[in-house]
A = this chain, B = another copy of it.
Amino acid sequence: MQPISKARLEQFSDGVFAIAITLLALEIKVTELQNADLKNSLHELLPLIPNIATFILSFLGIAIFWVNHHQLTRNISTVSRRVVWSNMLFLLFVTLIPFATSAMAENYGNALAVVTYSFILLGSSSSFSILRFFVEKHQGNTKVKMLRSLVGPIIYTLAFISAFFSLGTTYALLIIPPLFYFLPRN
């Protein structure tokens, strides 16, 4: 197989990122608003709060993946077969994020939905670490620093396990990776 141009891999990946991130909002169901009187109907927005929180969490997740993806590919010009297919595995999990978001938002407090969400985020971050590994290897880096890349997979594994015992812990864990990303780095 001939090497694949990075430009088209990015173009295809950006398409998937853009669609997945836009579909997140599509999953917020329009509540059937029935009271024309605003003061009486404000409480109708309350059931939307878990929806909106989950939406923002997933939006941040995909946005961070996009920035990291950009950082990863910006210095290469061609990609190997392994990079293409670990990128595909990563995108497979990214396309599942709107589904997982919708499942968690519509079934707030349901353990199965939270387990599903944690699993899909775990899959996304793990496959992104695999992608990073193959990109670095393709560039000839013999000693790949993967420590930072393991933060996501480890926290999402903990979130996945804790969902079987305490949903509150899982919700708290799911917020950590985006926060971690925005920490200042020395």
- Contact in complex: B33, A99 (CB < 8 Å): no
Q: Which of A105-113, A121-129, A134-142 contacts B (4 or more CB under 8 A)?
A: A105-113
Partner of A25, one of B12, B98, B111: B98
Bound CA–CA A16/B112 (angstroms): 31
Asked if B107 and A33 sit within 8 Å, CB to CB, the answer is yes
Using CB atoms, name the residue of chain B closest to A120: B25
Closest-CB distance, A108 to chain B (whole angstroms): 10
Knowing A1-B71, A112-B45, the reply to whether A20 touches B22 (Cβ < 8 A) is yes
Q: Give the residue of B30, B44, B74, B111 whose beta carbon is less than 8 angstroms from that of A2.
A: B74
CA distance A44 to B18 in the complex (A): 31
Number of contacting residues on A, CB 8 A? 62
Residue among B14, B25, B111 making CB contact with A11, cutoff 8 Å: B14
CB-CB under 8 A from A99, the residues of chain B are 25-26, 28, 30
- Distance of A111 Cα from B41 Cα, bound (Å): 9
Q: CA–CA, A160 to B136, complex, Å?
A: 43
Contact with B along A42-85 (1 / 0, CB 8 A): 10110000000000100100010011001100100000000011
* Bound complex: CA A28 to CA B96 (Å): 9
A88: interface (CB < 8 Å): yes
Contact A25 B71 (CB under 8 A): no
Q: CA A73 – CA B177 in complex, angstroms?
A: 30
Contacts of A111 in B (CB 8 A): 36-38, 41
Q: A33-B113, A112-B44, A112-B45 are in contact. Are A14 and B8 (CB under 8 A)?
A: yes
Judge whether A24 is part of the interface by a CB distance below 8 angstroms.
Answer: yes
Q: Known pairs A8-B70, A33-B107; list 10 more (Cβ under 8 Å).
A: A11-B11, A14-B18, A15-B22, A16-B18, A24-B95, A26-B98, A28-B96, A30-B99, A38-B111, A56-B92
